Amino acid sequence: MDYKAKHRFADVGPRKIRLFANLIRGKNVDEALQLLRFYPNRGAKLLLAVVESAYGNADHLECPDPDGLVVSECRVDGAPTFKRIQPRARGTAFQIKRRMAHIIVTLSEPPEEAPELTTDEGAIANAPVAPAPTGSEPAPVAPPTAEAPAGTPPAPTPPTSGA
């Protein structure tokens, strides 16, 4: 079962939170909480609160093993942007964009790994196999070697100038 938590209209830009979302995605929930707990960034604190909320939802819904959950989805989407004006010289104005974000975290059980099926020869059943030759391919040719035939003497080495 999946356990979700959302924080909508978080007052931090999505790019600043995505750094931490990428950091914890796919990790165990305890490991994710430990990673986020020691970052001083505001985005990390907001994401930490959402992960703790999803963990609390799992505990409230009586998850059999809340400590074994994995952060399966950690998404940070853009939210509406507040547009403000900063007065500048000579009657002009610069636009200030106050960006917001929606943070979505989903915790789920780790995927069970399927056992590898083996055939009677001991080879793995799902392993890719090279295609059989069709007969239209040219035969492989051995690369030429630089060795002289067995009956000829070796070539003399050129004299070196002694210095």
Report how many domains make up the chain.
Answer: 1
Q: The tokens of 90 are what?
A: 């000579």
In this structure, the strands spanning 93-98 and 3-10 are unpaired
pLDDT for residue 111 = 83
The model carries a pTM of 0.67
Q: What is the mean pLDDT of residues 83-88?
A: 96
Helix H segments across 111-158? none
Domain of residue 11: give its range.
Answer: 3-108
What's the whole-number mean pLDDT along residues 66-92? Answer: 95
Residue 74 lies in a domain: yes
Q: Is residue 106 a contact partner of residue 54, using CB atoms and an 8 Å limit? A: yes
Q: Is residue 154 part of a domain?
A: no
Question: Could you tell me if residue 60 is inside a domain?
Answer: yes
Give the CATH number of the domain where residue 60 resides. Answer: 3.90.470.10
Distance between CA atoms of 59 and 41, rounded to whole angstroms?
27
- Residue 83 located in a structural domain: yes
Q: What are the tens digits of pLDDT across the range 88-131?
A: 999 999 999 999 999 999 999 988 876 666 655 655 666 666 66
Distance, in Å, from the CA atom of 30 to the CA atom of 7, rounded to the nearest integer, reads: 20
In a domain, 124, yes or no: no
Backbone angles phi, psi at 45, to 5 degrees: -65, -40
pLDDT at 52: 96
Give the whole-angstrom CA distance, residue 82 versus residue 98.
5
The one-letter amino acid code at 114 reads: A
42-69 burial, b at 16+ Cβ within 10 Å, e below that, comes to ebbebbbbbbbbbbebbeeeebeebeeb
How high is the pLDDT of residue 84?
A: 96
Structural contact between residues 100 and 10, judged by C-beta atoms closer than 8 angstroms: yes
Q: Are 55 and 70 in contact (CB under 8 A)?
A: no
- Residue 100 placed within a domain: yes
Whole-number percent of the chain with pLDDT over 70: 77
User: What SS3 class is residue 20?
Assistant: helix
Q: What distance lies between CA 49 and its chain's CA centroid?
A: 22
If pLDDT is split at 50, 70 and 90, which confidence band does 152 have?
confident
Q: Does 125 map to a domain?
A: no
